[in-house]
Amino acid sequence: MKKISTAHKLLFATTGIGVLIQLLMLNVANYNILIMTFQMVISIPTLVYLFVTKQDISEVLRIKAISVPTVLFSILAAILCYPIAALISVISSYFIEGGLTDTMSMVYDAGLGFTLFAVAVLPALGEEILFRGVLYNTYSKVSPRKGILLSAALFALMHMNFYQMFYAFFVGFVFALMMEAADSLLVPMLMHFVFNAVSVVNGYYVYSSSNVAAQAEMIVNEDLAMKAALFNYTVTALVCAGILIVVIYVTYSINKRQMKLIFIKKPDVVTKDHLTDEPYPKAKWIDLWLILFLLYAAVAIAYNTYLLIS
């Protein structure tokens, strides 16, 4: 399927930008400028492609108005994702150091406003345009079920480190599910912003308070405290997961969408609204461009892991 190949080319082009940004990091001391630059340019390959091919951006990316109840449930779903992602992060920290503390400290030094803009606003736009707007939208025309899983996996790999990639897969999965619930890219954009904003505010508070920072350090380094934190995170995450399932189901209901059509074993129809009789087209999911991206991601993850343990 030509559109899948095009989506993978855009993914690879964006990865190329990431390579250039990383090379710039060797010579540019101000990390804040670099992180903001990358987040601002991540969607450029996609937008340039749509402009050159004269496609309707709102239609291709599924940018549609959403109702007030959908907005509220999207915000609630994003907040509920945070404790679950926190549990995944705690479990990940058993196996490998996060490696994000020093990096985020440099961003926090620029102030809460800048951090929210660089870490919450820009990723909610750029990353969602690529991963849910292009990749998932393309995959969903062949198989929404596989599309959710693959787009979430690629979203996780794009983070290029073990610490973030596991919870990134989870939130990417939920973002795509909720996008299908409302049939609009605005939903994962809103959720991405809220999720990152909660993380930023929480992290900024810890960074700004020496007492809280000391407690956080103790939790990371002491086995007993780690186990206590794991228990607390687990209980909270399980409760939030139960509520999250209900929120997702209700979001589908209020938008008159059917979630079961995503997960049926052999779907018979595919559509923008899952109501037509047009059969799913056959498609080649793996191509050269995807393989090149996977190779780069593997090298980057290995390199970043080496830096953490060395």
Question: Residue 32 has what pLDDT?
Answer: 65
Between CA 150 and CA 144 the distance in angstroms is 10
Dihedrals φ, ψ of 257, to 5°?
A: -115, 155
Q: Residue 309 carries which side chain, given as an amino acid letter?
A: I
Match 């995170």 to its residue by tokens: 233
Q: Would you write out the chain's pLDDT as a tens digit for each of its 310 residues?
A: 578 999 999 999 988 887 777 777 666 656 666 677 777 788 888 989 988 988 899 998 999 999 999 999 999 999 999 999 999 988 887 776 655 555 666 677 778 888 899 889 999 999 999 999 999 999 988 888 899 999 999 999 998 888 889 999 999 999 999 999 999 999 999 999 999 999 999 888 877 775 444 444 544 455 556 666 788 889 999 999 999 999 999 999 999 998 877 776 444 444 444 444 455 556 778 899 999 999 988 988 888 777 766 6
Q: What are the residue boundaries of the structural domains of the chain, listed by start?
A: 2-55+65-309
Residue 25 to residue 20: CA distance in whole angstroms: 9
Predicted confidence at residue 105, as pLDDT, reads 64
Residue 156: which of 305, 8, 304, 301 has the closest Cα? Answer: 301
Q: Could you tell me where the beta strands, DSSP code E, fall in the chain? A: none
Q: How far apart are CA 157 and CA 206, in angstroms?
A: 27
DSSP 24: H
Q: What is residue 222's three-state secondary structure?
A: coil
pTM of the model: 0.86
